[in-house]
């Protein structure tokens, strides 16, 4: 009975991330092959993702006590996000030592990234507190599925120098997290709402409790 239950659970997990599993012929670079071999020998690694061209790899790392971070669909997203920081589209290659990539099937189609690729989320805007609230803005770049974004802002006259940050969310989630760190000493972190397809809005705070607002448009 336990074996049947385990098989059923595995089937449910694989079904949940089926749209992220790679399909079609792929040639892995020697470096990627080496990384995959090492990852498969690491018991703390769950999902492994590779880029369509076989040149980049990423995985979900689950140390003891953090298994829920990489469970089911979430583990697939973590691996894909890690791989797509290279700027290339990635899909799931394996789960542990089990290769899931279907080399005999037609090439993968972007089942969720295509829905987001047209979103006009190109500029990150931080509304800073002060005598009169003012905005500091800069470009934001996203990975192919737009679940991970990086941005940079700077304003010498407002005292914000060398500021860089990131936004992350789970696949298809309507909320995410953002954080910003500046060489000039400021830092903020908070939540962002993805429910509006045109303008994303969020709030955050500094370690001292200073509240700020953001928007991505």
pLDDT band at residue 146, thresholds of 50, 70 and 90? Answer: confident
Enumerate residues 6+ apart whose C-beta is below 8 A from 143: 81, 84, 85, 87, 149
Enumerate residues 6+ apart whose C-beta is below 8 A from 149: 121, 124, 140, 141, 142, 143, 166, 167, 168, 216
Residue 63: name the closest of 82, 38, 44 by CA.
44
How far is 30 from 24, CA to CA, in rounded Å? 19
pTM: 0.49
pLDDT at 112: 36
pLDDT at 186: 86
- Domains of the chain (ranges, CATH numbers): 16-109 (no CATH), 115-216 (2.40.128)
pLDDT at 73: 53
Average of per-residue pLDDT values in the chain: 76
Range from 7-16, 171-180, 208-217 carrying the lowest mean pLDDT:
7-16
pLDDT at 203: 93
pLDDT at 11: 37
Q: In what order do the strands lie in the sheet with 45-51?
A: 57-61, 45-51, 90-95, 98-99
């Amino acid at each position: 009975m336990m074996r049947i239950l385990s098989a059923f659970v595995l089937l449910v997990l694989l079904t949940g991330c089926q749209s992220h599993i790679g399909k079609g012929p792929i040639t892995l670079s020697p470096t990627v092959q080496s990384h995959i071999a090492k990852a498969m020998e690491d018991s703390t690694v769950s999902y492994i993702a590779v880029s369509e061209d076989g040149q980049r790899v990423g995985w979900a790392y689950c140390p003891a006590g953090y298994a829920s971070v990489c469970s089911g669909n979430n583990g697939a997203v973590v691996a894909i996000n890690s791989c797509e920081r290279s700027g290339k589209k990635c899909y799931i290659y394996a789960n542990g030592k089990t290769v899931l990539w279907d080399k005999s099937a037609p090439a993968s189609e972007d089942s969720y990234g295509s829905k987001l690729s047209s979103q006009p989320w190109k500029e990150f805007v931080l509304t800073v507190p002060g005598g009169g609230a003012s905005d500091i803005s800069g470009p934001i770049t996203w990975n192919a599925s737009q679940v991970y974004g990086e941005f940079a802002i700077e304003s010498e006259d407002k005292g914000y120098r060398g500021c860089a940050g990131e936004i992350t969310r789970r696949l298809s989630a309507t909320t995410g997290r953002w954080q910003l760190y500046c060489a000039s000493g400021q830092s903020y972190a908070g939540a962002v709402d993805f429910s509006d397809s045109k303008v994303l809005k969020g709030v955050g705070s500094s370690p001292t409790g200073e509240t700020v607002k953001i928007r991505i448009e």
